[in-house]
A and B are shown apart, each in its own frame.
Chain A
Amino acid sequence: MNFKSTIGFEVHFELKTKSKIFSPSPVTYGAKPNTATNVIDWAMPGVLPYVNKNVYRLGIMVALATHAHILPNTHFDRKNYYYPDSPKAYQITQFFQPLARDGYVDIEVHGKKKRIGIHEMHIEEDAGKNAHGTNGYSYVDLNRQGVPLIEVVSEPDITDPDEGYAYLEKLRKVVQFTGASDVKMEEGSMRVDTNISIRPAGQKKLGTKVEMKNLNSFEHVRKSLAYEEKRQQQVLLSGGRVQSSTRRFDEASGKTVLERVKEGDADYRYFPEPDLAPYHISQDWVDKIAKEMPTSAEDRYDEYVNKFGLKPYDANVLLQTKESSDFFDKAVAAGADPRLAANWMNTQVNGYLNDNRVSLSDIKLTPEHLAAMIKLIKDGTISSKIAKKVFAETITKGTDPKKYVEDKGMVQLSDTSVLQPMVTKVVDANPQSVEDFKNGKDRAIGYLVGQIMKQTRGKANPKVVNKLLNQELQSR
């Protein structure tokens, strides 16, 4: 029997604000427990939420980037549940009127293009963090309480784990290039819940869903979905029924493990949040945000390949993160030749980042430095060999390339009026090389170039020296 899979995703992104969604407490990562909190986060009696404008702005950016329809009339709703990480005993979210509906991202899997629908996205507050001790207690840190989130819910369009993986990669990239979120799985600024059901081919009604929450990486998502496909098929083939449940992915065994069976729908008793008035999103504001939005990865790719003439592979390497793409764009804006800049970014800069396990924001090299160095190479001031020395200096110490080259006297010697007498002298002193050259031994010229390089301590422009030597030897 053939089966069809239906896969869904609920992806939470932390929106990159300086303060929380309903209180002005700072948004921090890795701060000491409960230091980034105030009376609103603690839900002290009498406090009221106060909406951060930037949360709406960043949320609208995500909606625009995913081609979603922004609902002009939004309000918040209250989702009631009791848990120590939420002092109010409810979460303020959007249930009845989300921020946006009916978006999509386009993916490409196994050479095929496919459009994956986004059902809706809504903004809400995060809860605090619990650490569970082994001594019968849990420990609560409310720093995360009130950090703004946008939850993106997919349509059930995804039909295999590879598509699921591609959807997550694309969604992450789209959101990353808006700059609205850091999208880091390891820091929790992107969190993935997935669900999967299978049904016999030809059956319309969807099968029973199994959910998996808080997966650590896209690879775990793919593996857990692939495992679930097989497991659920075996259950159905042996005449059983798939249980509505939450399962957990076990890294060590590569299997999913039953965590909890669901008994009936949870009862959250949603109702419109009485402490917050609604908000009408004006088209003017949406237009303004759209204008200010950073260029999407797709548009940048188009520019890199079609305008700058980069190879698709190189363009994709630059576009792996918004950070590297921004760095490249700034270098080009500062006058760097795009192809040389891409080359230096993807080999030397990336090599340095990988070797030292740092990111672009940690290094002293600026896009302007890179542009200045590339200009020096292009106009023949320095050779690419010298450029590597300059690069090593600038990336570790932040020294200005032009100044460094001048101070160290590294400027390449291209002046023929200086080089010609040296060439004549070196040829005069090496009659054997002239003989060899006449007998067709091209290697002879290499020896002579080496002599000139030695005399000039590597500063002579090898191209010019080669040309002059050729002329000189042929004239003998």
Chain B
Amino acid sequence: MKITEDTIKHVAILSRLEFDDKELGKMTKQMGSIINMADQLSEVDTKGVPETVQVVDRDTVFRDDKPEHWQDREDLMKNAPAKANGFIKVPVIINKDDDQ
């Protein structure tokens, strides 16, 4: 798969990231080599191997529906860059992506 500057621009928009031209060039090169490395997997002959989405050989383990209190709000909020009245304060965003 060929990674172009347009691919990086598109992913940057989706990820809410901004790159200048210099960063864009660097990112394109680095992402390209990462993808190329991963692409080596496609050289493996997988004829006759059933398709899968998981590499573990067992089912997920369920948890019982019992509520637990782990952390207090004050501790959790320590990493929030800004807060107000118990809320996390963020720059206003009105236009939400589709379908949430």
Contacts and interface: CB of A to CB of B under 8 A. Distances in A.
B62 A52 contact: yes
Given A26-B67, A42-B76, A96-B53, A35 B93 contact: no
B43 interface: no
Contacts of A82: 14-16, 97
B92 A133 contact: yes
A109 interface: no
A266 B13 CA distance: 12
**Chain B interface bracket (under 10, 10 to 19, 20 to 34, 35 or more):** 35 or more
B88 to A, nearest CB: 4
B91 A138 contact: yes
Contact of B70 (A25, A51, A132): A25
Contacts of A91: 100
A137 B56 CA distance: 43
A39 B56 CA distance: 25
Interface in B61-87: 61-71, 73, 76-77, 79, 82, 84-87
A179 interface: no
Nearest to B71: A38
B67 A276 contact: no
Contacts of A54: 64-65
Contacts of B73: 32, 34-35, 37
Contacts of B88: 34, 84, 139-142
B63 A266 contact: no
B95 A141 contact: no
For the residues of B in contact with A, the DSSP-based class is loop
A277 B60 contact: yes
B59 A34 contact: no
A277 B61 CA distance: 8
Nearest to B59: A279
Nearest to A32: B86
Interface string A41-57: 01010000011111110
A357 interface: no
Given A24-B66, A34-B86, A138-B93, A266 B76 contact: no
B14 A80 contact: yes
A81 B70 contact: no
A278 B59 contact: yes
B89 A137 contact: yes
B77 A34 contact: yes
B56 A37 contact: no
A272 interface: yes
A260 B97 CA distance: 11
Contact of B54 (A51, A52, A138, A278): A278
A39 B87 contact: no
Nearest to A20: B67
Given A18-B66, A278-B53, A83 B99 contact: no
A37 B70 CA distance: 8
A309 to B, nearest CB: 40
B49 interface: no
Contacts of B38: none
B94 interface: yes
Nearest to A54: B65
Contacts of A141: 86-88
Contacts of A24: 63, 66-68, 70
Nearest to B87: A139
Contacts of B53: 75, 96, 272, 278
B64 A53 contact: yes
Contacts of A137: 82, 84, 89-92
Contacts of B56: 277
B18 interface: no
A136 B92 contact: yes
A34 to B, nearest CB: 5
Interface of A: 17-19, 24-27, 32-35, 37-39, 42, 44, 50-56, 75, 80-86, 89, 91, 96, 127, 130-133, 136-142, 260, 262, 266-267, 269, 272, 276-280
22 contacts: A26-B69, A37-B73, A38-B69, A39-B76, A52-B64, A53-B62, A55-B65, A75-B53, A82-B14, A83-B97, A84-B93, A91-B100, A132-B92, A136-B92, A138-B90, A138-B93, A139-B89, A140-B89, A141-B86, A272-B53, A277-B60, A280-B59
Interface of B: 10, 14-16, 53-54, 56, 58-71, 73, 76-77, 79, 82, 84-100
In the A-B complex, the 7 residue pairs with the closest CB atoms: A26-B67, A53-B62, A54-B65, A139-B87, A272-B53, A38-B70, A24-B68
Given A50-B63, A55-B65, A140-B87, 17 more contacts: A19-B66, A19-B68, A25-B67, A34-B88, A35-B86, A38-B70, A50-B61, A52-B64, A75-B53, A81-B14, A83-B93, A133-B92, A136-B91, A139-B89, A266-B98, A277-B56, A278-B53
